Amino acid sequence: MTEKEKAKNGELYNPMYDKELIQERFNVKDLCFKYNNTLPSNFKERNAILKQILTTVDDTTLIEQPFICDYGYNICFGRNFYANHNLVILDTTTVKFGDNVFIGPNCGFYTAGHPVDVKQRNSGLEYAKPITVGNNVWFGGNVIVLPGVTIGDNSIVAVGAVVNKSIPSGEVCGGVPAHYIMKTKDYADKCKENTPIYDLENYRKNFREEVNLICDRMEHSM
């Protein structure tokens, strides 16, 4: 069994001396470097590079620079995925996001872990556990999600949380480690008085048309 196969099976594996994994990491990190150093206004070039890194990018995917991942092919995005600056995904195994996921700045999703045993850890061994995020999930800034976590639909993870256990659907969680605060519905009702209502689909349509228009103008002016 290869080191890559061991990682997929959740077994201890060593990524430090495996030629296949080393080359794959270098390839993706070079592409991430290229992506992060592309002009932010050059959407077409950014998306072209992103599609070389990730397999599920579409016209509703927006990841602000900088962005870093390990392999790229283990990451799966749903529709309307947005991540603010400095997203880090250590995708040593599957990281799956549902539709309408919103991620604040400086967030990390870490599938990689290391043995507690000192000799095993010092030898370079690690393990990988998948992360799954449902639909309509919002992460505040500086959130860390640890290996093996599943976050249910319609949940909110508060700023600065460290999520080491799975979160059911429809809950607001926060803290270190993250813990239950209240139901999302109750929080929405509590905030409703101060929350403006938008025609979201029309907003998205107009926003993307405006962005495309700006990009076209910039390209013609260069």
Catalytic residues: 114
CA distance 218 to 132: 38
Residue 92: what residue type?
A: T
DSSP state of 65: S
Closest CA to 153 of 140, 138, 136, 139: 136
Q: How many C-beta neighbours within 10 Å does residue 218 have?
A: 13
Beta sheet of 75-76, edge-to-edge order: 75-76, 95-97, 131-133, 150-151
CA 95 to chain centre: 8
In the block, which residue shows the tokens 């139901």? 183
